[in-house]
Chains A and B, each alone.
Chain A
Amino acid sequence: MTPPTAATAPKTSQPPELPPTDPRGHTADSPAPRGATPAPRRQDGKAAAFLLSPTLIVLALVIFYPLLSAVGQSLYSSDAGLDDQGFVVQGDVFVGLQNYAQIFAGPESARFYNALWNTTFFTVVSVALETVIGVMFALMMNRAFKGRAFLRAAVLVPWAIPTAVSGLLWRWMFQTDGIVNTLSGAQVLWTAEGMAAQVAVITAEVWKTAPFIGLLVLAGLQIIPEEVYEAAKLDGATAWQQFWSITLPLVKPALLVAVLFRLLDALRMFDLPFVLIGPRKESVETLSILAWDSANQLEYGMASAFAVVLVVYVAAIVYVFVRLLGADIFTSSDAATPRKRFRRAAADDAVVPPARQPGARTTTHEVKQP
């Protein structure tokens, strides 16, 4: 790995276009805003546009065009009907917002609300469980030294298994005469319908993704310098207090990013309920499955409307999450995040041992500040 200080290198360096003798570099009063010098920026702009446009064009074609198209299609209905003159109308009929009205208040809106509830329920329960188990794993792995390589490999296995395969795997384990019922001595029909099916889906989801959260949190844990804990211990903090007022606040940025990515993933859950239980099963039908099923029945208008509603729902949840908790995924590392600043400070500490603080409390306090 590159030393943490290397991350700062690109910023402090000269813009490459400037000849080293450029007088601007030598004016003593204004040494700082080198990156903001107008001349090289204009030149870079062309190169940047040239390099970025292929990516942006492709993304526009594979994401923004389909999204706009979904919004457009959601205003049409593919039901063939009769027009004013009594002719059979083939193909699409413009129906305005009727599809949305159907979704929210139509005769079949119960199916939508059920799918919305399932999506939300699966997301909240599984992400909560994943986070707790993931943090526990990370704390355990942070302590383990002998089996570290083994643990890292083991944790990656559930992550690497395709979700569809893990759906099959759990379907097999949740069989009526499968291993789960054998071990628990129960006779539950896990893969049929109802609460048991939901438990099965959540179990499989948590199994697959908790280790992933564990990995991300572990990465956050590893950059907390040990001195912080030493200081807290001198102060007589219990293990629980250390966890609650040092570990948790310091891994919070890493944890929030992990949870946000998991939220996004869980909200579009499709493969797992689809393979583990099946499509058109009331108790596990998510919004993604509902939209897919409509498209499969060639009701593209309704399917698009479902997809649009799901996008809006996801966007709303992300917005609330970022707003409430301040998860920071969009800021590029150019703006030094608290964590980065902290890591840099920690790296400096490693080189030059800091003078002993007057009291341990100050050290802990300082760390909490950024």
Chain B
Amino acid sequence: MSATSGRQSRREAILLITPGVALLIGGFLFPAFQILAMAFVPATEDAGIWSNFARFFVDGYYLGVTERTLRLSVIITAITVVLGFPIAYIIARSGPRLRLVLLIMTILPLMTSVVIRTFGWVIVLSRGGPLTDILHAAGLVERNFALLYTETGIVLAMVQVLLPFMAITTLGAISAIDTRIEEAARTMGCSFWRSLWHVVLPLSIPGIVSGSLLVFALSISSFVTPSLVGGVRLPVLAWSIYQQATSTLDWHFAAAQSVFLLLLVMAIIIPYLALMRRKNG
């Protein structure tokens, strides 16, 4: 690099990056700003620029949808934290071969289409599905028991869809912990469980926090799983946006809801980015 003059290097860099920047501006930033602009265009002429947003807040239906979306996201995030930490710890501390097998088993669901994963849950949760069979055999439920079209069903499916994100983020934090710290704690007379609680857990908090923010942001904006498992009966924000944009064709209201959803996501993502920056120095 030292032999190339600074100016030539910069010219090369600009040349290399131009097609990417053009795609980013034309294909991403412009459509995103289009939504923003559309949200402020009133549906009728005598309405004000905030009318699309006002409609959202005045109508109890949409507040109910928002409340459900947020409540489910909190529950889903909490469960992925509880399940994600042990799985990440187990992967981090297994030998190289087992580690690879476990990683593949975590990544396979992640890389499979969310439609297919949800499909699996539709079979599992439906009336007469394997879950009903097992619970019925255990004498816990009636024959016609089903979790499809229930919030419990949505939570189950969403946890499975989002757990890999949590596990992999937490795994990153745990892998970065020097095992000698754990050994030191153990040598000083700490039991295994105490070292897990007092050493490993506190040191992996940054990973758990960023994993939680990621899972929360993904779950408040997720569409496919809630709409197939919850259906029309249990609408979430993303479902409502989709309906307005494709069935009612009310793009202005869909845009306003999108802006509202984006604000919710940003409220979560901005602390996340701040956290990542602090972690990276």
**Are A and B interaction partners?**
no
Contact residues of A with B, CB < 8 Å? Answer: none
